[in-house]
Amino acid sequence: MIDPDAQDPLSTIRLRAMGLLARREHSHLELHRKLADRFPEHVDLLNQVLCGLQQDNLQSDERFAEAFVSSRVRKGQGPHRISMELQQRGLDKPLAERAVADSGADWTLLAGEVMAKKYGGKPCNDFSERAKRSKFLQYRGFNTDQISACFNDD
């Protein structure tokens, strides 16, 4: 039996990459890492395959960023955290920040919804409770203006 990987590694790598992209969008770096793990003997071919996928518009960091931001907004994460996670996945800072800015999310409203979901709309009566809630929202990636707006109604 002939090993298909030995026949044409370029097409095998491309098919594997297309399979990964069919499941969800991936950044260039994520795809490179996954393929390098799967095909360590052909690491030298990965950039050629990935460039071909980008030219064919099958892989796009912009499209990945848009899908990623949308997913994280649905999970109730703030702009700072989303931007940092995009950068960890190989996107440059300007692209990550542009994707967050172009999302159209109302971050102040989202912060309020996240806090209401976590704390059930209970009033915040003392300083320690406010600090606890602020720290929670900060961990979620919201900035101080967005966090303080959540407490203006109290």
- Kindly report, residue by residue over 82-110, the tens digit of the pLDDT: 999 999 999 999 999 999 999 999 999 99
Residue 5 has pLDDT above 50, yes or no: no
In terms of domains, do 10 and 50 share one? yes
pLDDT by residue (tens digit) across 32-56? 999 999 999 999 999 999 999 999 9
The pTM (predicted TM-score) of the whole model is 0.86
Domain count, the chain: 3
Query: Do 17 and 37 lie in a common domain?
Result: yes
CA nearest to 45, candidates 59, 56, 32: 32
The verdict on 53 and 18 lying in the same domain is: yes
pLDDT-based confidence at 2, cuts 50/70/90? very low
Do 81 and 52 lie in a common domain? no
Range of the domain at 84: 62-101
Q: Which residues are within 8 A (CB) of 13 and not within 5 positions of it... i.e. 6 or more apart? A: 35, 39, 42, 45, 46, 49
DSSP state of 92: -
Please give the radius of gyration of the chain, using alpha carbons only, rounded to the nearest integer.
21
Burial 45-55 (b: 16+ CB within 10 A, else e): bbeebbeebee
Do 38 and 55 lie in one domain? The reply is yes
Is 26 found in the same domain as 12? Answer: yes
Same domain? For 51 and 24 the reply is yes
pLDDT at residue 153, rounded to an integer: 59
Q: Which of 23-32, 44-53, 68-77, 118-127 has the lowest mean pLDDT?
A: 118-127
Same domain for 8 and 38, yes or no, is yes
Q: How confident is the model at residue 1 (pLDDT cuts 50, 70, 90)?
A: very low
Query: How is residue 114 written in tokens?
Result: 């996240």
Q: How confident is the model at residue 8 (pLDDT cuts 50, 70, 90)?
A: confident
Alpha carbons 123 and 130: distance in angstroms, whole number? 10
Are 50 and 21 found together in one domain? yes
Tokens (6 digits) for 70: 């949308």
* Alpha-carbon distances, residue 30 vs 14, 27, 37, 128 (angstroms): 15, 5, 11, 41
